[in-house]
Amino acid sequence: MSQNKNIAVKQIDVLHVSIEYYPAAKAGGLADVVGALPKYLNANDFNMAVVIPKHHTKWILDQKWEQVFKGQVKVGADSYDFTVQQHTPFEEHPLYVIDLPGLFDRKSIYIDSVTGYGYTDDHVRNIAFQMAVLEWIITLRKFPKVIHCHDHHTGLLPFMMNHCAYYKRLNKIPTVFTIHNGAYHGAFSWKEENLIPIFDLQVKGLLDWDNQINPLACGVKCCWKLTTVSPGYMEELRYNSNGLESLFEQESAKSVGLINGIDIDVWNPATDPRLKTHLKKEVADFKQKNKKELAKNFKFDAALPLVTFIGRLAYEKGAQILPDLFVRYLDQHQDVVFLVLGTGDKYIEKLLKETQKMYSKNVRVHIGYDESLAHHLYAGSDFLIMPSKVEPCGLNQMYAMRYGTIPVVNAVGGLKDTVIDINRKDGYGICFHTATVFSAYDAVRRAAKLYTEQKIFTKLQTKVSKLDFSWKASAKQYASIYQNL
């Protein structure tokens, strides 16, 4: 049962439904995309809006919110009261949060602070959030023209809109489903089928994959248009998607891979408020000054090339090869400094700390997430290494290049689409082709050699800083998709 508070909501052309949004709630690149894409599409004359759960992150709790709707959802045997609240004031586009006490009033988006693992009730939380979104939408005077769903957390929306009795009045609204990370399916047992609102049993197969309810697979089957965050990743999903390979092949006709952009206002070396030294004229001068500050803070030799890793210490990011890479490389050469900023797998964290003790002059490790430090590292590092096993698009390499840092990447997914090896005439980065210690070792050796060729190196720094990775091109492609739908 839902109760409209009769607060006017402006006609929404495209409503983005996501679990993350920068700066409100961020765990990875999903937040950056959902935070930036609506902003750039607004510039293309679309009225965009975003709705996310009301996580209890610091940013969300520090803001002012106006209630626009109050309702209730029943998930299985449990009922949850909720409110929809609008951020006031908003700038580029409206941001709405759905306050679901007992489910999303937690500081962390995904990780239980007590156990250190993911929440065991994630599927319940996601279903309640999606139902609350639909409860709100059906009361609006004018429905959104398109609903854009992001990752498995919102993968049941297209199904509910078409096949759940109460929400069928929304079945004429086109849906776009974007996969940012196909490794996570959000699957749960058919024993909990009662959590999903009443639906026609004849379409039960749309929910199923491998004898489980699979929200990611369901979103792929039921959406009007399927997108991923790079052409390369769309190809990879057809042969490596945790068991969904045949499904992606079957749905290829409605699929397209679009490279993500970056918010060039947030990531601007000339104005970045997180930096003490900004880019004025010479990229090399900007880099050198920021590197010297890093060297002072982390106590390393600024004359050596600085190779940095920024990100989650996770298997898919290739972080498990870093300790062995550092040991093998530094046993033979002491001509680079490795610096790691990240958090994640506790065993990897432990190995990295031990490696820092072994090579106290050449390894620096900062465990944790620090947005300001990340900006400083992009500005002051010579190279950014990304040995990812899976990288749907990758934003870090784009941030790095915007700040004049040369990417050293395993050429998978979006990394393959955005980094061209220097062996090619038009190249500007260093690529390797398997996420192994040996391949990464050779790539670091190439980076160290490139650093000694200062004229070529400084030209590359300038070249990568001028590459256009803005949302301009991608936003036009998304605009075209919305218009066609």
CA distance linking residue 326 with residue 254, whole number of Å = 44
Q: What is the pLDDT of residue 455?
A: 96
Q: What is the pLDDT of residue 240?
A: 87
CA distance linking residue 302 with residue 307, whole number of Å = 12
CA distance linking residue 170 with residue 151, whole number of Å = 20
373 three-class SS:
helix
Q: Can the peptide bond before residue 387 be classed as cis, meaning omega within 30 degrees of 0?
A: no
Residue 273: how many other CB atoms lie within 10 Å: 9
CA distance linking residue 419 with residue 406, whole number of Å = 10
- Pairing mode, strands 146-150 and 14-17: parallel
Query: Which residue do the tokens 């049941």 mark?
Result: 156
| Amino acid occupying residue 66 | E
CA distance linking residue 339 with residue 367, whole number of Å = 11
- Pairing mode, strands 78-87 and 212-213: unpaired
Query: Which residue do the tokens 């769903």 mark?
Result: 149
CA distance linking residue 250 with residue 333, whole number of Å = 49
Ramachandran class of 89: left when φ > 0, alpha when ψ lies in -120 to 50, beta otherwise: beta
pTM assigned to the model: 0.86
Phi, psi at 222, each rounded to 5° = -100, -15
By the 8 A CB rule, do 473 and 479 touch?
no
Q: What is the pLDDT of residue 204?
A: 96
CA 457 to the chain's CA centroid: 30
Sequential DSSP letters for 86-131: EESS-SSS-EEEEE-TTTT-SSSSSB-TTTSSB-TTHHHHHHHHHH
Q: What is the pLDDT of residue 8?
A: 62
Question: What does DSSP assign to residue 269?
Answer: T
Q: Which two tokens stand for residue 214?
A: 């699979």
Range list of β-strands (E), 229-294: 255-257
69 three-class SS:
strand
Nearest to 147 by CA among 172, 122, 184, 123: 172
- What CATH number does domain 2-261+473-484 carry, 3.40.50.20, 3.40.50.2000, 3.40.50.300, 3.30.360.10? 3.40.50.2000
By the 8 A CB rule, do 308 and 376 touch?
no
Query: Which residue do the tokens 């300001």 mark?
Result: 372
Nearest to 478 by CA among 235, 148, 248: 148
Q: What is the pLDDT of residue 92?
A: 72
CA distance linking residue 285 with residue 279, whole number of Å = 8
61 three-class SS:
helix
Question: What does DSSP assign to residue 378?
Answer: H
Q: What is the pLDDT of residue 44?
A: 67
- What CATH number does domain 283-465 carry, 2.70.98.40, 3.40.50.2000, 3.40.366.10, 3.30.590.10? 3.40.50.2000
Q: What's the length of the chain?
A: 485
Sequential DSSP letters for 2-48: EEE-----PPPSEEEE-S-BTTTB-SSHHHHHHHHHHHHHHTTT--E
Q: What is the pLDDT of residue 90?
A: 66
CA distance linking residue 377 with residue 94, whole number of Å = 32
Q: Where are the domains of the chain?
A: 2-261+473-484, 283-465
CA distance linking residue 439 with residue 431, whole number of Å = 9
Mean pLDDT by runs of 10 across the 485 residues of the chain is 56 96 90 89 84 96 96 96 90 90 94 85 98 97 96 98 96 97 94 96 96 98 96 92 94 94 92 96 96 97 98 93 98 97 93 97 94 96 96 93 98 94 96 96 98 97 95 88 93
CA distance linking residue 224 with residue 226, whole number of Å = 7
> How many Cα atoms are found within 13 Å in the side-chain-facing hemisphere of 31?
11
| Sign of the Cα pseudo-torsion (176, 142, 20, 164, in order) | negative
Q: Which helix (H) or strand (E) holds 415?
A: helix 413-418
Q: Which helix (H) or strand (E) holds 341?
A: strand 337-342
By the 8 A CB rule, do 34 and 18 touch?
yes
Q: What is the pLDDT of residue 1?
A: 46
Q: What is the pLDDT of residue 114?
A: 83
SS3 content of the chain, % helix, strand, coil (to 5): 40, 20, 40
